[in-house]
Structure 1
Amino acid sequence: MEFVHMKRFEWRDRIHELDAEADCEQIVRILSAHEFPWDIEQALGIALYRTYAVPSVGQLLADTREFTERTQHRYDDTALILNDILEHGFGPGRGRDALRRMNQMHRAYDISNADYLYVLSTFVVMPVRWLNDYGYGWRRLSDHEIAASTNYYRKLGRHMGIKNIPETYAAFHQYLEDYEREYFAYTDGGRAVSDATLDLMVNFYPAWQRPLVRPFTKALLEERLIEAFDYPRPSKAWRATTNGAMKLRAKVVRRMKPREEPRWARMSPNVRSYPDGYDPSRIGTFPQGCPVPHGMRTQEIGATGAQVPAPGQALPPQVPSEPTNQSSTQHP
């Protein structure tokens, strides 16, 4: 029997057979796990990273010390929680357990509805900005796909108890622009969390690449972010090199075969904290008690990216992981 491979635009065509509202979860799963797994991971990483530039968010994250002292764990917890919600949905099971865990963490702090709305708006806007506005996607998102993604995050926002959620992508975009224009500002806490996140991201790469990864990454950041963190402005050469490299990658990916098997965020070799697996209801921060649930072995990552055993535990045998050039900057 002859095996027939998928055609390059077959997933796109399937998406356009679905309803942008009723089938929004299925559409976003296809976009995130088949069409643009690397791109959307980077876009959502930058989405969450930019929230550090909001003083009420950046300083809160710094005050917990989780994002400067346990950065790898916070990166992993965010990736895994958001992955389980997307992969398994909002119904009973791992998806609902992950959603409940996220809400529990958020409720431990005094977070305004306006800040919640801003974070949600970054999730809606940044993938579109990355793929369409920056031109880093191997194809552009259609209006149908943008509407479905917007509907998915509106649904997530409702499950988080967020009020006054915008109804359209344009409204989310306007909210993000207005909010950043009014609130972006430097704080020592936001800068500290930003530095720790960049250090973690750089350490995902081999040592010989790290001196190039840091300026490359900063050249991806908009001027308003550079100013908010008080970083030196990237040179025109680095801006041009980064932009050119990302667009070249998009052209190469366009000529590749479509991804038939899903690639979930939980599969990333950059997620390292739970070598024995994880229960979504038992990861994350527990401000009122022990931050590490008892009975679940976690794995610390040293400053060089090397694995460090937790107290009283031996380092597990090293298992080679798939090569990757992924990087992402995330927090819950």
Structure 2
Amino acid sequence: MGLLSLVHAPGRYDNLRRIRSLDPEVDHDEILRLTARFEFPWDYVQGTGIAFMRDYGVPSIAELLDRTREFADHGVKRYDDTILIGDEATLDGIDSPRSHAALRRLNRIHGHYDIAAEDFAYVLATTIVGPVRWIEAYGWRPLDPHELAAITRVTTRFGELMGLKDLPTTYDGYLALLVDHERRHFSHTPAATRLAEASTRIAKEVAPPPLRPLLRRVTIAVMDEPLREALGLPRQPRWIVRAVRGGLRLRGRLLRFAPPRRTAYVHRPTTYPHGHRLEDLGPLSMLEELNRVSGVAKGYGAP
């Protein structure tokens, strides 16, 4: 914690002390819960959101996502369902019956499409690299090695339950996978731009009204140049980029003086204001077929 630990709100580092007392190989679910739902809930969501947009920079992924029209026609539901399936897979632990039921459903959805294994692995890599990069840039403290190890363990197990083989076992391995895949495949397509613009419209729908007018500019301002170019989005003025990134870094510094969060962050889906069941999740065109299999709502069994 260094010098920063001398200037902070009372109890601000209690969760970190708890995390450091745990074993990432055994207690990865608890460490992820503390990190993503107590220490960095907003940052984790933002980093994951930018990570999803990286997928559009790979033409094979963008073409499929664009063809389904889920983002264009049912954008908010697609957004909510993506987050909720991730929640279902992790809230009770990655190897809980609830998680296995969610991953089984995700596999059924993916089974309708011809998706290359390397694209699956890349998308998985974005889900860990995106939040970690965001927290490294804008978080109120650095991630601890125990956190990186635990997040990696859960990510790899998530991929294994999707049927993926030979996945990395370290964060650096996922980072290398992502960088290499983007070096070989990142390029602009019209589909990427359509998906990016649809995603910003979705973000505007779920954001508080005062934030909506500037949300598109802010979203572009936090993108790295390779991502912005792959998505075909307009370059923002330097002063906007500096202001947005500087404001985010200032927020991180100020959070050191905020009291620690006492309740776990939970996503509040616009699509399901009165709650959801697992059988609600998935493309509308597939729901009847997905729900023919018995036991979906109970959440038992492995993928």
TM-score, with normalisation over the residues of structure 2? Answer: 0.88
Counterpart CA distance in 2 for 1:32 and 1:129 is 14
Farther off after superposition, 285-294 or 56-65:
285-294
Shift in CA distance, 6/252, structure 1 to aligned 2, threshold 3 Å: closer
1:104 match: secondary structure: helix
Residue pair 1:62, 1:189 contacting (<8 A) in 2 also: yes
The 1:291/1:185 distance shift into structure 2, 3 A limit, reads farther
| Cα pair 1:97 1:281 within 8 Å, conserved | no
What amino acid is the match of 1:279? R
230-239 or 206-215, larger mean C-alpha shift: 206-215
Do the aligned partners of 2:54 and 2:227 also contact (CA within 8 Å) in 1? yes
1:96, CA displacement in angstroms? 2.4
Q: Counterpart amino acid of 2:229?
A: E
What's the offset of the Cα at 1:217? 1.3
Kindly report which structure 2 residues correspond to 1:174-193, keeping only aligned pairs within 5 A, or say none: 174-193=176-195
User: Which whole-Å deviations, capped at 9, do the CAs of 1:117-147 have from their partners, x for residues lacking one?
Assistant: 1011112212221111x2x001000122111
- Percent of residue pairs identical: 37
Partner of 1:69: 73
Q: Which runs of 5+ in 2 are unaligned?
A: 1-8, 293-303
Amino acid at match of 2:160: R
CA distance in 2, matches of 1:258, 1:289: 40
Question: Residue 42 of structure 1: which of 46, 67, 81 is its match?
Answer: 46
| Residues in 2 aligned to 1:256 and 1:89: alpha-carbon distance in whole angstroms | 29
Q: Which residue of 2 aligns with 1:330?
A: none
Offset, 1:212: 1.8
- 1:127 counterpart = 2:122: no
Answer yes or no: is the 8 Å Cα contact 2:193–2:233 preserved in 1.
Answer: no
- In structure 1, the gaps of 5 or more residues are 295-332
1:201 is aligned to: 203
* AA at the equivalent of 1:100: R
1:102 aligns with 2:106: yes
Query: C-alpha displacement at 1:9, in angstroms?
Result: 0.4
Give SS of 1:88's match. coil
Mapped partners of 1:205, 1:277: distance in 2:
19
What is the CA–CA distance in structure 1 between the aligned matches of 2:208 and 2:71, rounded to whole Å? Answer: 23
1:212 and 2:210 are equivalent in the alignment: no
Shift of 1:85: 1.1
Alignment partners' CA distance in 1, 2:158 and 2:10: 31
Q: Does 1:159 pair with 2:157?
A: no
Task: Find 1:139's aligned residue among 138, 141, 148.
Answer: 141
Q: Which amino acid aligns with 2:125?
A: S
* Structure 1 residues 166-177: aligned runs within 5 Å: 166-177=168-179
Match of residue 242 from structure 1? 244
- 1:226 alignment partner AA: R
Q: Look up the match of 1:278.
A: 276
Give 2:116's aligned residue. Answer: 112
Letter in 2 for 1:116: F
Distance 1:274 1:205 in 2: 16
Letter in 2 for 1:282: D
Other-structure match for 2:266 = 264
Q: As a proportion of its length, which structure holds more helix?
A: 2
Q: CA RMSD in A?
A: 2.0
- Gap change, CA 1:181 and 1:129, over 3 Å in 2: same
* In structure 2, distance between residues paired with 1:175 and 1:204: 32
Q: Which residue of 1 aligns with 2:5?
A: none
Shift of 1:30: 0.8
Q: Read off the aligned partner of 1:239 and give its amino acid letter.
A: V
Number of the residue aligned with 1:300: none
